Amino acid sequence: MIVLGIETSCDETAAAVIEENNVLSSIISSQEVHAQFGGVVPELASRAHIRLIVPIVERALKQADKSLHEIDGFAVTYGPGLVGALLVGLNFVKGMVTATGKPFVGVNHIEGHIYGNILSQPKIEFPIIFLIVSGGHTQLVLMEDHLKYRIIGKTRDDAVGEAFDKGAKLLGLGYPGGPMIDKLAQKGDPDFVKFPRAMLKNAPFDFSYSGLKTSLLVYLKNISEEEKQKHLNDICASYQKAAVEVLIKKTLLAARKYKAKRIALAGGVAANSLLRSWLQKVCEQEGLELYLPELKYCTDNAAMIARVGLEYLKHGITSPLTLNAYPALKLKEAGK
């Protein structure tokens, strides 16, 4: 089965063509206009998607050497995300469905990140504890089989990606913040500052990063600009270690609790070098199998959306043309 996927949930316009687990093409256009504002501006994102979606889809089809009528089905993100951005991709796919008569399925963006990891694996076994880490989401999910999920932990405030972006803004590093903090942290002392780790004893699998961000704000207010610049690498390393350590501990705790022998990463923060290396080390120590996504499938892309769509379409699950965009869409748990 050949599936064309489209992703327009935030500030990447992306299209991809896959055949089973093989990616025939994956085209991504990132919108650089948002950097000057320190974050994504929804109206600018929507306008950019409108300009870009036709040439991006055309490039994806050309690179895959497929015509539109050779596509067996379509997949498109319908949430969560920016409602205006989501509507661009969703309505574009509805137009292609009307023109070709082929089926389509709306895909949850978070589910897409899960299958972005699966795209990277030659073989995968269940159950798996998925640590989903992105700009807007930090979740622990028990995946019992294809398309079957159980959410066991989530963030109570800021997601870890938000913590990196907001921390970078406080440090004057710009947007997006995660890659910048990661780069500087590699040259710093991770024990230079003792930032707090929110473990939430009454909710062992939930996350909270608002306190970490606040602690950085307080710390910076008590030092001079000269001292901040002198120890910028050390501050970044300490901040990153505090954020990642909580992720590691809670993920291992979940694996033990649910007797899962496999752990997987998903989402943009899955590209973080410390998270990947630290998790590899502890999984080796604990005798756990670790599924890491390729770096190109960590950030938003359409190949991951197409791969979820493939799974649904193979099960005969499709969406109606009345499907709407849902900016606060939740990951659907099995049996609910």
pLDDT digits (tens, 9 = 90+) for 282-313: 999 999 999 999 999 999 999 999 999 999 99
The CATH number of the domain where 219 resides is what? 3.30.420.40
Number of domains in the chain: 2
Mean pLDDT, 10 residues at a time, the chain of 336 residues = 96 94 92 59 84 96 97 98 96 97 97 96 96 92 97 95 94 90 98 95 93 97 97 98 98 97 97 98 98 96 98 97 97 80
Instruction: Determine, yes or no, domain membership for 152.
Output: yes
Locate all alpha helices (DSSP H) within 130-231, ordered by sequence.
160-170, 177-185, 210-221, 225-230
The verdict on 137 and 215 lying in the same domain is: yes
Name the residue range of residue 261's domain: 126-292
Spatial distance between the Cα atoms of 26 and 61, rounded to a whole number of angstroms: 9
Instruction: Determine, yes or no, domain membership for 310.
Output: yes
**If you search the block for the tokens 């009454």, which residue do you land on?**
202
The verdict on 136 and 285 lying in the same domain is: yes
Spatial distance between the Cα atoms of 320 and 109, rounded to a whole number of angstroms: 18
Under 8 Å between Cβ of 14 and 7: yes
Q: Left, alpha or beta for 189 (phi > 0: left; psi -120 to 50: alpha)? A: beta
The verdict on 67 and 103 lying in the same domain is: yes
Instruction: Determine, yes or no, domain membership for 324.
Output: no
The verdict on 32 and 163 lying in the same domain is: no
The verdict on 268 and 150 lying in the same domain is: yes
* pTM attached to this predicted model: 0.93
The verdict on 171 and 310 lying in the same domain is: no
Instruction: Determine, yes or no, domain membership for 332.
Output: no
Spatial distance between the Cα atoms of 173 and 191, rounded to a whole number of angstroms: 21
Instruction: Determine, yes or no, domain membership for 320.
Output: no
Burial per residue of 180-217, b for 16 or more beta-carbon CB atoms within 10 angstroms, e otherwise: bbbebbeebebebbebeebeeeeeebbbbbebbbebbe
The verdict on 78 and 145 lying in the same domain is: no
The verdict on 234 and 165 lying in the same domain is: yes
Spatial distance between the Cα atoms of 94 and 304, rounded to a whole number of angstroms: 19
Instruction: Determine, yes or no, domain membership for 165.
Output: yes
Spatial distance between the Cα atoms of 10 and 161, rounded to a whole number of angstroms: 14
Given this model, what pLDDT does residue 32 score? 59
**If you search the block for the tokens 């870890």, which residue do you land on?**
160
Given this model, what pLDDT does residue 46 score? 87
| 226: exposed, middle or buried (Cβ count in 10 Å: 0-12, 13-18, 19+) | exposed
Given this model, what pLDDT does residue 37 score? 56
- Determine the distance from the C-alpha atom of residue 136 to the mean position of all C-alpha atoms in its chain, rounded to a whole number: 8
Instruction: Determine, yes or no, domain membership for 331.
Output: no
The verdict on 61 and 160 lying in the same domain is: no
The verdict on 287 and 303 lying in the same domain is: no
pLDDT in tens, 27-73: 998 755 545 556 677 778 889 899 999 999 999 999 999 999 999 99
The verdict on 141 and 244 lying in the same domain is: yes
Instruction: Determine, yes or no, domain membership for 121.
Output: no
The verdict on 256 and 154 lying in the same domain is: yes
